[in-house]
Amino acid sequence: MFVPSRRSLRLVEIQESVLPEDEWLIGISDLGYFKGVGYSMPIVNEYGDENDLGNLYAFLPGLFYCSSQQTSVDAVLIEVTHKSLSGVMLPSFRPEDVRTFDVSGGLYLDEKGKIKPVELTTDTLGSFGVESFLRDSGLKQEAFNYKREVQIASHLAGIVPLSELKKAYVSSSFLQSRLMKLLDDIQFYGLKPRKRVYVRNRNHPYGTVVDVKYGGLDDETKFETGVRLRIPDDLRLEKELSNLSFSKMVDSGVEIDVERAILDMLLYVRFELEGNVNHKDVLKKLFEEESG
């Protein structure tokens, strides 16, 4: 995963499955905040009524659109568990499932099949595709073997170097449809807190979106004293999340809770977008040339 050395607002995608029809989350966030994904410190339950140590949580604050729930959230929290099945470890979360698009533009293939750079706008999204290659290759559709995927891969390897492949990926039509959902959501609802977070853990193995309340938003004094995230519909989850603590790397490792990190990030997103929420401005910001 790309870990930025300094703060910047980037497009981030989270997904476990390699199949396009499966769940995905796509959003805008600053991976410089935690220097990658935030991982909670393993802490002992403060009430001492449970002996076990809680599992780690992976945490990404930011404005994310979730495909399964068809809604947007203020953060993504995934409990990191491991299960061994017939000798194979099944992790609930891998850092490799998170990717940042640290690119300043897209790619398309010209008539000769050569790659050409292109600025990413709503008009140019979805312009990259290898189907013309597949059409010409005469590969049969029916038989399910690796031939087609391996052919696509070796064709891609021949025309797009790895350093450029992310540009091709952001310019592909599947990503276009995902990105448009996010852009529409931002344009329609603006940058106000969604007051929802995405959680995937033992109790919600397929992921869920829960409504939350931020004490710090309602009351400036409570923000200072640190009233933690409230989840009226799920007190067990509220307790679990309230125990989490993360090192905020952007501030030389200061410990921070879920609510504060979310509010921090919301502010940062607003600051970076300067209140602009239309497609064009958001795209421009996300794929701008990184200076320095």
Nearer to other proteins, 169 or 287 (CB): 169
Q: Is 136 exposed, middle or buried (0-12, 13-18, 19+ CB in 10 A)?
A: exposed
Alpha carbon 218 to chain centroid, angstroms: 27
Q: Which of 5, 48, 50, 146 is the binder for other proteins (CB under 8 A)?
A: 146
173/125 Cα distance (integer angstroms):
7
Is 66 a binder of other proteins (CB under 8 A)? no
- From the list 153-161, 180-188, 216-224, 225-233, the region that binds other proteins by CB under 8 A is 153-161
Sort strands 57-66 and 25-29 into parallel, antiparallel or unpaired: antiparallel
Is 140 a binder of other proteins (CB under 8 A)? no
Nearer to other proteins, 157 or 235 (CB): 157
Nearer to other proteins, 167 or 194 (CB): 167
Q: Which residue, 59, 68, 71, is CA-closest to 98?
A: 59
Is 29 a binder of other proteins (CB under 8 A)? no
How far is the CA of 279 from the CAs of 103, 181, 200, 205, 267, in angstroms? 17, 11, 29, 33, 20
x-marked contacts with other proteins along 173-202 as a string, rule CB under 8 A:
xx----------------------------
CA-only gyration radius of the chain, Å = 21
Is 17 a binder of other proteins (CB under 8 A)? yes
Q: Which of 118, 159, 165, 249 is the binder for other proteins (CB under 8 A)?
A: 165
Nearer to other proteins, 41 or 153 (CB): 153
How far is the CA of 27 from the CAs of 95, 149, 180, 183, in angstroms? 16, 28, 11, 9
Is 136 a binder of other proteins (CB under 8 A)? no
Is 85 a binder of other proteins (CB under 8 A)? yes
Burial call 244-276: b when 16+ CB within 10 Å, e when fewer: bbbbbbbeeeeebbbbbbbbbbbebbeebbeee
123/59 Cα distance (integer angstroms):
33
By CB under 8 A, the count of residues binding other proteins is 47
Q: Contact residues for other proteins (CB under 8 A)?
A: 1, 13, 15-21, 85-86, 88-91, 94-97, 99, 129-131, 134-135, 141, 144-146, 148-150, 152-154, 156-158, 161-162, 165-166, 168-169, 172-174
